[in-house]
Amino acid sequence: MEYKKRNVWSFHDMKLFLISLLKGPKRFEKIGEVLPHKTAKEIVFFYHTFKKLLNLKQEIRNAREYLKIKNN
């Protein structure tokens, strides 16, 4: 029961996850630093569950391209 309560992701949790993911893709330990109330297992599970639905790989590519253009 306790696990299910913690496994609820608020909109704010998702936003922090996505911002952190775009800063350093798949650096789950860094993502965990901004979401200390989530376990590493919960973060990895969230990533793998929603990566296709949220098109995370393409979003990461887009963010890298945007930052490359912006920095030049």
Pick the CATH number of 2-71 from 1.10.10, 3.30.70, 1.10.150, 3.40.50: 1.10.10
Other beta carbons within 10 Å of 41 = 11
**pLDDT tens digits, residue range 1-35?**
455 555 789 999 999 998 888 887 778 888 999 99
CA–CA gap between residue 39 and residue 60 (Å, rounded): 23
Q: In 3-state terms, what secondary structure has residue 16? A: helix
CA–CA gap between residue 30 and residue 53 (Å, rounded): 23
Domain ranges of the chain: 2-71
Residue from 37, 34, 33 nearest 3 by CA: 37
Instruction: Tell me which residue has tokens 């989530």.
Output: 38
| pLDDT score of 57 | 80
**pLDDT tens digits, residue range 27-62?**
888 899 999 999 999 999 998 888 888 888 887 788
- pTM of the shown model: 0.71
* pLDDT-based confidence at residue 72 (cuts at 50, 70, 90): low
